C-alpha cells in the first residue's frame, strides 16, 4: 500500500505536484493517468525518495521509503528515464543492486530468465534496444520480489509485442496479490490494464475512482437528432417524457436515456422530418481529454500558480483546443484528440526507429 498525503513539489515558481492525496491499494492495478508534464514522474520519484517533497508525505506500508530496510524487497520501480550504466553488463547491473539489498545471486538469474534477457546477460547495456532496456528495468524492479511494483510509462516506445508482454506481466503481478501502480498518458492503455484510476492534471488530483465507475460516468451514450423544425422536435421529446436533451453547438440535439429506434418511431408518428438520427458513444479518451483539458485551461490562465480559475477566456492559443474538446462529440475526432494521437504515433515510430538503430 502506498499512501500519499498532501504531497507537493514545487520547482521555483512552478507547482509540479499540488497537494496530492490518494492511496494505492494492494491486489489491483492502479492506473496513474495524466497528460505529459502533469507531474506523474515527479510523484513517482518522490514515492521512492529520489525527490524530496516540498510539503506533504508519502508512505510505503506505513513507512517512509528511506526507513525501509532493503527497500527493493518492498517496492520495485521502473522509472521512465534510463537508470543503467551503459558500460556495465545486464548481469552486473542487477548483481550490484541485489547485493546492496541482500538478495541472493540466484535471484539475478531468475529475473533475467523472467524478462527473457538470459542470452544477453553478459552484454553491456549500452547495446540494448529500447525494448531490451525496458526489460532490464523491469528485471531490476522484480529483483527483490516486492509486494509493490511501480511502472512509469512502461509501454512508451515499445513494439506491439513488448506492449502485450508488459500488459500481461502487470495483470499477472496483480493477480498474485501485489500492488501495481502504473502511469500512462494514454487512456486506452489504462482501460486495458487498470482496475482503479487516479487522474492528475497540472499536478492536481482530478479523479480517484474505480475503472468501471469511471467508464459508467464518462462514456456517455446518447442519440443525436437533427431536424429542420428543431423547436417542434424539442416539444415532441418533452411530450414523450424524454427530458435529458441538450442542444449541441452545431444545432443538433443530444437525447439521453432512450434509443434511436424509439425516437425514429416517435418522429414518424408525428410526421416530423429528421435529417439525422444517430446513436453516439463518447469514448473514454474523450472523457479523459475533457477532464484534463480543464486543468490545461486552468494552467493557461493562471500560469500554474494558485489563483482564481477563469474558464471563460478562451482566446489564447493554448486554450483554443480546449474549446474544441468541450464541443467534441463522439465519432468526430476533434482537434486536440488528433494531436493526442499524433503524439502517440510519433512516439511509437520513434521507438521503432531506435530499435532498428541498435
Partner 1 sequence: MTATRVLQSEWTKIRSVQSTIWTLALAVVVTLALGALISIVTRNTFDDMPTQDRLFFDPTFVSFAGMGLGQLAMIVFGVLVVSNEYSTGMIRSSLAAVPRRGTFLFSKIAVAALLALVIGMITSFGAFFLGQALLGEHRASIGDQGVLRAVFGGGLYMALIAVFSMGIAAMLRSPMLSLGILMPFFFIISNILGNVDATRKVGQYLPDQAGSKVMQVITRPDNSAPYGPWGGLAIMAAWVVAALIGGYLVIKNRDA
**Candidate segments 62-70, 240-248, 289-297, 321-329, binder of partner 1 by CB under 8 A:** 62-70
Q: Which is nearer to partner 1, 49 or 341 (CB)?
A: 49
> Using the rule CB under 8 A, is 312 a contact of partner 1?
no
> Using the rule CB under 8 A, is 59 a contact of partner 1?
no
Q: Which is nearer to partner 1, 79 or 266 (CB)?
A: 79
160-175 and 130-142 helices, crossing angle to 10°: 10
**Candidate segments 64-72, 195-203, 290-298, 350-358, binder of partner 1 by CB under 8 A:** 64-72
User: Please, what is the end-to-end C-alpha distance for the chain in angstroms?
Assistant: 38
The CA dihedral of 81, 85, 87, 92, to the nearest 10 degrees, is -120
**Closest to 180 measured CA to CA, from 207, 206, 142:** 142
Query: Would you say the C-alpha torsion 193, 197, 202, 206 has a positive or negative sign?
Result: positive
> Using the rule CB under 8 A, is 88 a contact of partner 1?
yes
Q: What is the grid cell recorded at 145?
A: 520480489
Q: What is the grid cell recorded at 106?
A: 540466484
Distance CA 4, CA 43 (A): 9
> Using the rule CB under 8 A, is 115 a contact of partner 1?
no
> Using the rule CB under 8 A, is 96 a contact of partner 1?
yes
**Candidate segments 19-27, 69-77, 225-233, 330-338, binder of partner 1 by CB under 8 A:** 69-77
> Using the rule CB under 8 A, is 102 a contact of partner 1?
yes
> Using the rule CB under 8 A, is 23 a contact of partner 1?
no
Binding test (CB under 8 A) with partner 1, winner from 21, 36, 63, 85: 85
CB 159 within 8 A of CB 355: yes
Which DSSP string corresponds to 109-145?
HHHHHHHT-GGGTTSBGGG--HHHHHHHHHHHHHTT-
> Using the rule CB under 8 A, is 82 a contact of partner 1?
yes
Number of residues that bind partner 1 (CB under 8 A): 33
**Closest to 250 measured CA to CA, from 220, 295, 280, 218:** 280
**Candidate segments 14-22, 28-36, 76-84, 306-314, binder of partner 1 by CB under 8 A:** 76-84
In angstroms, what is the minimal distance from the CB of 63 to partner 1? 11
**Footprint on this chain of partner 1 (rule: CB under 8 A):** 45, 48-52, 65-66, 68-69, 71-72, 77, 79, 81-89, 92-93, 95-97, 99-102, 140
Amino acid at each position: 500500500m502506498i499512501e500519499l498525503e498532501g504531497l507537493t513539489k514545487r520547482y521555483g515558481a512552478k507547482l509540479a505536484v499540488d497537494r496530492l492525496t490518494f492511496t494505492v491499494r494492494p491486489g489491483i492495478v492502479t492506473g496513474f493517468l495524466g497528460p505529459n508534464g502533469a507531474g506523474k514522474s515527479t510523484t513517482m520519484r518522490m514515492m521512492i525518495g529520489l525527490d524530496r517533497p516540498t510539503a506533504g508525505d508519502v508512505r510505503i506500508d506505513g513507512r517512509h521509503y528511506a526507513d525501509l530496510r532493503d527497500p527493493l524487497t518492498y517496492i520495485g520501480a521502473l522509472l521512465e528515464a534510463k537508470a543503467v550504466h551503459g558500460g556495465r553488463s545486464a548481469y552486473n547491473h542487477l548483481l550490484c543492486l541485489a547485493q546492496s539489498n541482500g538478495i541472493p545471486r540466484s535471484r539475478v538469474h531468475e529475473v533475467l530468465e523472467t524478462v527473457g534477457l538470459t542470452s544477453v546477460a553478459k552484454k553491456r547495456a549500452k547495446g540494448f534496444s529500447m525494448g531490451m532496456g525496458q526489460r532490464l528495468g523491469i528485471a531490476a524492479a522484480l529483483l527483490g520480489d516486492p509486494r509493490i511494483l511501480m511502472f512509469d510509462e512502461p509501454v512508451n516506445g515499445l513494439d506491439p509485442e513488448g506492449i502485450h508482454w508488459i500488459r500481461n506481466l502487470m495483470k499477472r503481478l496483480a493477480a498474485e496479490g501485489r500492488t501495481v501502480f502504473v502511469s500512462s498518458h494514454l487512456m486506452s492503455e489504462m482501460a486495458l490494464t487498470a482496475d482503479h484510476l487516479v487522474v492528475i492534471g497540472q499536478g492536481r488530483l482530478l479523479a480517484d475512482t474505480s475503472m468501471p465507475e469511471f467508464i459508467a460516468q464518462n462514456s456517455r451514450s446518447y442519440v443525436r437528432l437533427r431536424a429542420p423544425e428543431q423547436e417542434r422536435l424539442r416539444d415532441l421529446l418533452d411530450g414523450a417524457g424524454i427530458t435529458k436533451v441538450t442542444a449541441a453547438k452545431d444545432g443538433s440535439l443530444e437525447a439521453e436515456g432512450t434509443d434511436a429506434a424509439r425516437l425514429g418511431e416517435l418522429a414518424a408518428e408525428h410526421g416530423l422530418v429528421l435529417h439525422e438520427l444517430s446513436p453516439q458513444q463518447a469514448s473514454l479518451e474523450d472523457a479523459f481529454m475533457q477532464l484534463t483539458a480543464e486543468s490545461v485551461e486552468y494552467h493557461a490562465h493562471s500560469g500554474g500558480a494558485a489563483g482564481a480559475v477563469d474558464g471563460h477566456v478562451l482566446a489564447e492559443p493554448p486554450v483554443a483546443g480546449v474549446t474544441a474538446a468541450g464541443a467534441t462529440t463522439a465519432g468526430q475526432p476533434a482537434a486536440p484528440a488528433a494531436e493526442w494521437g499524433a503524439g502517440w504515433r510519433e512516439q511509437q515510430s520513434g521507438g521503432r526507429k531506435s530499435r532498428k538503430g541498435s
